[in-house]
Amino acid sequence: MKKAIFPGTFDPFTIGHFSVVKRALTFMDEIIIGIGVNDSKRTWFPTERRVEMIRALYADEPRISVEAYSGLTVDFARERGAGFIIRGIRTVHDFEYEETIADINRKLAGVETILLFTEPELTSISSTIVRELLQYGKDVSAFLPEGMKI
């Protein structure tokens, strides 16, 4: 059974994240969406709310679970018996960063990272941009998965 962690802050979970999960389900048996808790990061939505929103989105998909975690992602993956970490890549900068982390995770725990390139029409969408739009009271529904309630 192929199990993966898809880690992130997901503040909020965008259509880009949704696309990565949808594509990863074509070759993974189970995906745990891991919401990393980082007290040094200021978030728009509390952790519990992000877990709730993403769980509701995938309520009818038994191969997806959603959990919050703290600490190293590679430790979370090992604790959950996941042999893979899924990451989405939007830019060359993302690739360089993720390559370094993937090398360390493989050396530390033998956990492989699978990088999925963002679909071209979604490369401009980021949680940071969506949070900024929310801050100014803009409608962000076009950037969120259909049915996601914020």
Binding site feature residues? 9-10, 17, 41, 73, 87-90, 98, 122-128
* Dihedral (CA of 18, 47, 3, 100) sign: positive
Question: Are 140 and 150 within 8 A, CB to CB?
Answer: yes
C-alpha span between 111 and 31 (Å, rounded): 14
Find the catalytic residue in 3, 55, 78, 90: 90
Q: List the binding residues for ATP.
A: 9-10, 17, 88-90, 98, 122-128
CA–CA gap between residue 92 and residue 89 (Å, rounded): 8
Q: Is 17 a catalytic residue?
A: yes
Judging by beta carbons within 10 Å of its beta carbon (0-12, 13-18, 19+), is residue 104 exposed, middle or buried? middle
Binding residue positions for substrate:
9, 41, 73, 87
From 41, 42, 93, 149, active-site residue: 41
State the Rg of the chain over Cα. Answer: 15
Task: For CA atoms 104, 114, 125, 47, give the dihedral sign.
Answer: negative
What residues act catalytically?
17, 41, 90, 127
